[in-house]
Amino acid sequence: MTSLPDFPWDSLAPAKERAKAFSSSGESSADEAQGEGIVDLSVGTPVDATPAVVQEALREASDAPGYPQTWGTPDLREGIVDWFARRRGAPGLDPDGVMPTIGSKELVAWLPTLLGLGAGDVVGFPRVAYPTYDVGARIAGATPFAADATTAFGPTTPSSAPKLLWLNTPSNPTGKVLGVEHLTKVVAWARARGVIVASDECYAELDWRSEEERGQSYAELPTTPSILDPRVTGGSTEGLLAVYSTSKQSSLAGYRAAFVAGDPALVGRLLEVRKHAGMIVPWPVQRALLAAVRDDEHVAAQRERYRVRREVLRPALEGFGMRIDDSAAGLYLWATAGEPCRVTVDRLADLGILVAPGDFYGAPGAEHVRVALSASDERIAAAAARLAR
């Protein structure tokens, strides 16, 4: 293993203490609206109740004396295939190329290792990105390489190209969505060089673009484009993996319920190691995951909650003098005040609002902060009132 970076959240502790100490003067109704204490918009952990349909499925599966299947039960894999057809515009996937994972973070962190990558192999990922892509390369002893365009890898041949390329659409932290055309180009480039493409799509259901921007109606294209969309794949999933998590869409981050889908040969390689290593999604969670992917209603309700919070927070941040960049989809607003991000973090902490500094996600994020939509309506309203002060 190559050495791991410091755990970034530890560096946010002083700002958190500052934010916790916030108290309004309480002298007027405007003060009252600001509430007391911290509004934590940093980590992006879901706060709404896990939907009843999912809780019920978990409870019903609580009698579990035997070992569950690492691959997931056939009905779970079929349920995920149906979900891709219904929600992602990716019909006809092979259920053999589907496997549940113990949340997505573990898969992101272990994918290079599970694929057998190691010293001398390059793992690519976006320059502003979820830090675990880098961590996963390091765990495998491979070389992490941050790049925003395939040209950044130079004039590669199959022997010098990266072995694995991560995409993240919609992006955490920027909220940028990769369109079908972009995905298609990346897949063609990767296939010509034998590069495996893993697309982390865990915010796909939180698409804030209008129908006009998306170019298709909601019914035709219900979520952001998937790497497994046939317009991208040309009908073959070879070399491609989509990574998805129900943590955010279904408020069940505590369950650890996610999945990977795509090329059956690649999923077969992952499965082989995971069976030996005991990386199994618990049976009650497998049943809860199935309930979550079968039910679109709770996802629509959760999306609506985040939409309302976004519509309160976005103008409040703009009124405070910040610019929102990208943020077309996902759980975050990617905001800048045109100053070093730690200065913005401290200014917001003085208002009792804790956000994540953009430098957590790579050097190009140094003047941005990431503001999560995952706080209660009351906390979001308090943040907006404080920003308007």
User: Which residue among 134, 200, 207, 326 contacts ligand PLP (CB under 6 A)?
Assistant: 200
Which of 125/153 has CB closer to ligand PLP? 125
Residue 1 three-state SS:
coil
Which of 103/112 has CB closer to ligand PLP? 103
Least Å distance, CB 258 to ligand PLP, is 4
User: Which residue among 130, 259, 334, 361 contacts ligand PLP (CB under 6 A)?
Assistant: 130
Helix (H) or strand (E) holding 154: none
Least Å distance, CB 45 to ligand PLP, is 8
Least Å distance, CB 169 to ligand PLP, is 10
Phi and psi of 132, rounded to 5°? Answer: -70, -20
Least Å distance, CB 168 to ligand PLP, is 5
Least Å distance, CB 130 to ligand PLP, is 4
Contact characters 215-234, ligand PLP, x per CB under 6 A: --------------------
Residue 152's Cα: distance from chain center in Å? 24
User: Which residue among 178, 186, 197, 253 contacts ligand PLP (CB under 6 A)?
Assistant: 253
**Cis-peptide, bond into residue 225, ω within 30° of zero:** no
> What's the half-sphere exposure (Cβ side, CA atoms, 13 Å) at 114?
26
Rounded alpha-carbon distances, angstroms, from residue 241 to 31, 199, 275: 50, 6, 19
Label residue 135 exposed, middle or buried (CB < 10 Å: 0-12, 13-18, 19+): buried
Least Å distance, CB 100 to ligand PLP, is 11
Least Å distance, CB 257 to ligand PLP, is 7
Which of 12/381 has CB closer to ligand PLP? 12
User: Which residue among 24, 104, 113, 199 contacts ligand PLP (CB under 6 A)?
Assistant: 104
Asked whether position 327 contacts ligand PLP by CB under 6 A, the answer is: no
Asked whether position 251 contacts ligand PLP by CB under 6 A, the answer is: no
User: Which residue among 247, 286, 327, 336 contacts ligand PLP (CB under 6 A)?
Assistant: 247
Asked whether position 259 contacts ligand PLP by CB under 6 A, the answer is: no
Which of 9/218 has CB closer to ligand PLP? 9
Which of 57/351 has CB closer to ligand PLP? 57
Pinpoint the alpha helices (H) of the chain: 13-20, 29-33, 52-60, 74-87, 104-114, 132-139, 180-193, 211-214, 230-233, 264-277, 283-294, 297-319, 341-349, 377-387
CA distance linking residue 238 with residue 230, whole number of Å: 12
For 232, the token pair is 């991208």
Supply the angle between the helices 52-60 and 283-294 in degrees, to the nearest 10. 150
Are 104 and 202 within 8 A, CB to CB?
Answer: yes
For 52, the token pair is 């009843």
Asked whether position 245 contacts ligand PLP by CB under 6 A, the answer is: yes
CA distance linking residue 198 with residue 302, whole number of Å: 26
For 236, the token pair is 């073959």
Contacts (CB under 6 A) with ligand PLP, residues 260-279: none
Asked whether position 80 contacts ligand PLP by CB under 6 A, the answer is: no
Number of residues that bind ligand PLP (CB under 6 A): 14
> How wide is the angle at C-alpha 266 spanned by C-alphas 233 and 127, nearest 5°?
70
Contacts (CB under 6 A) with ligand PLP, residues 147-186: 168, 172
**Which residues contact ligand PLP (rule: CB under 6 A)?**
44, 103-105, 108, 130, 168, 172, 200, 202, 245, 247, 253, 258
